[in-house]
A = this chain, B = another copy of it.
Amino acid sequence: MDFNFADRMGGLTGNAIREIFKYLSDPEMISFAGGMPNKQALPADILDGISRELFAGKGIYGILQYGSTEGYLPLRESAVEFVKGVGIDGAELKNTLIISGGQQGIDLACKVFLNKGDCVLVEDPTYIAVLHILKTYEAKAYGVKSDDDGMNTDDLEEKIKKYSPKFIYTVPTFGNPTGKTYPIEKRKKILELAVKYNVVVLEDDPYSRFRYEGQALPSIKSMDMTGHVIYNTSFSKIIAPALRCGICVADGEIISKMTLCKQATDVHTSTLSQALADGFLRGGYLEEHMKRILPIYADKKKLMKQAIKKYMPKDFESTDPSGGLFIFGGFKSGKETSKYFMEALKNKVAYVNGSDFFAAGDGKNTLRLNFTNSDDVQIDKGIKILGEIFAK
């Protein structure tokens, strides 16, 4: 049959990370590609215990049944407590929606706000999946210049005036892909601009708990007095990606619209996932879990930085973020990373071409490296292989 697909499918190709994902089933592959937690950081034993308790409890029939779209009530209650960790104190149940992973929060925000042709501003570079999601809404993404400490707010203001965006998407803490963290002044300025021009801010925060040094910063949402900020977070990195479970906190009107849209997509998030996440938070496991994994990840970052210094060509410059999962780098010589990608894969090392993170495909000399997923030996070995390939 000759299918008559929707217009949105025209420009839609797979997001690069997901395409690379297919190669990762090869057990010999060293993957610096996805933002995957380390195997050691997956709390299988804790989840096993919580699961046994859930199945032994009287509530199990309620957990296995249909649930409300807004989410499993105990988890929504836990969510209200959880976001206090990033300074969000005033959230009530009506401001929370449980989402099927952080990405669904972005998708639902797009569904609620975007008409075909609408504009969204993103930091350049930005989270790759946002660019993919925006294509499914036939919306336009424009990149805002990035300074060493995040989005350039002069350029942001200029582009707000020029493009009248529906929202600004940002990962202000240990941003993806660069690992950059916006200082408090920048956070305030972005909120100020959002209020001044009446633009929504979609603050995506999957990484702020992964701080290896320095002081925690309040989220932009914590400073929001006018309802301009949608705050998204996820349990994928702090518990387990497979749960597909996260939290969205926003103005009640936005949450109720997002709920209507979620109703239409997956009815509700897996209640088992929600109950496991709730058990994890409520049982007080998070703190000890993070205490255990943070030093492991901090060491891995150090190891990767050392390996980069040792093996990568001298014109390769990379970030040294104080948290998160990624190092972002580029060749001052302008060497195009995509040209080396297939050879790297053949040599069993995966990374992500940096240009995939740019709204208009810039940054062809850049790449993103994840340091959390690999073993220490793999980090050294993988960067050595990349060093040899990029030396060519």
Contacts and interface: CB of A to CB of B under 8 A. Distances in A.
A69 interface: yes
Interface in A205-254: 226-228, 236, 240-245, 251, 253-254
A14 B68 CA distance: 12
A112 interface: yes
A44 B55 contact: yes
Interface stretch (A4-12, A152-160, A308-316, A344-352): A4-12
Contacts of A111: 6, 8, 136
- A5, A257, A264: most-surrounded residue (chain B CB, <10 A): A264
Interface string A252-285: 0110010011011111111111001000000000
Contacts of A37: 65
A21 interface: yes
A67 interface: yes
A114 interface: yes
A47 B64 contact: yes
Contacts of A47: 55, 64
A133 interface: yes
A163 interface: no
Interface residues of A, number: 86
A265 B5 contact: no
B136 A264 contact: yes
Contact of A3 (B115, B200, B240): B200
A34 B103 CA distance: 28
Nearest to A116: B116
A251 B6 contact: no
Given A12-B260, A227-B1, A270-B244, A68 B103 contact: no
Contacts of A86: none
A48 interface: yes
B104 A241 contact: no
Interface in A91-140: 100-101, 103-104, 107, 111-116, 118, 129, 132-133, 135-136
A116 B48 CA distance: 46
15 contacts: A4-B113, A5-B257, A6-B112, A12-B261, A18-B68, A18-B69, A36-B65, A44-B64, A48-B52, A66-B236, A100-B244, A103-B266, A107-B264, A136-B261, A244-B270
Given A21-B68, A21-B69, A245-B270, 7 more contacts: A1-B227, A4-B166, A39-B65, A67-B241, A104-B265, A133-B265, A244-B268
